[in-house]
Amino acid sequence: MKMPTMAEVQAEETDLQFTQFSNETALQIGQQLVALARERQAAVTIDITRNRQQLFHAAMPGTAIDNDKWLQRKINTVYEYGTSSLHKQLEMAARGQTLEEAAALDARHYAAAGGGFPVVIKGTGLVGSIAVSGLASEEDHQLIVDELHAFFHQES
């Protein structure tokens, strides 16, 4: 899988926004992410939050505590910047810097690595995160994006 461009990632962040995001929405998306991960035989850990409250968490077979640590770092990055963690990865790569160098953020708590996606409510802004850990950076990101496209398609 090829790494998406910054323009593609920004378009996803703009297009994949919610009109509401409830506990039920998180559960539905989480269960669909689990089903998609099973279908793709992806050993991932999935986490969904709203206002930093964990609403959904699942660890597929083949994952470990390390995945949870990566999730938290990606989630922190989403909340810090209001963008996907892949957005920050691409930005830092273009600048030739790490988050630690660019913003004095501790690498133990933040990650510029794909797999954290912002939950944005149109007209409101950032309210949460959807995060996946276990695959290559762009694959973690793509799993979320593919699920959100399916979720919004079934809603319309």
**Mean pLDDT (whole number) for 58-77:** 97
Q: Is residue 107 part of a domain?
A: yes
pLDDT in tens, 94-152: 999 998 899 998 999 999 999 999 999 999 999 999 999 999 999 999 999 999 999 99
Q: Is residue 114 part of a domain?
A: yes
Q: Is residue 31 part of a domain?
A: yes
Q: Is residue 38 part of a domain?
A: yes
What is the reported pLDDT for 114? 97
Q: Is residue 8 part of a domain?
A: no
Q: Is residue 14 part of a domain?
A: no
DSSP labels, 94-154: HHT--HHHHH---TTT---SS-EEEEEETTTEEEEEEEEESS-HHHHHHHHHHHHHHHHHH
Give the CA count within 13 Å in the CB-facing half-sphere of 98. 10
What is the reported pLDDT for 79? 98
Domain that holds residue 139: 19-155
How far is the C-alpha of 120 from the C-alpha of 146, rounded, in Å?
17
Q: Is residue 78 part of a domain?
A: yes
Are 3 and 16 spatial neighbours (Cβ–Cβ below 8 Å)?
no
Q: Is residue 11 part of a domain?
A: no
Total of domains in the chain: 1
What CATH number did the domain enclosing 61 receive? 3.30.450.150
pLDDT in tens, 9-58: 999 999 999 999 999 999 999 999 999 999 999 999 999 999 999 999 99
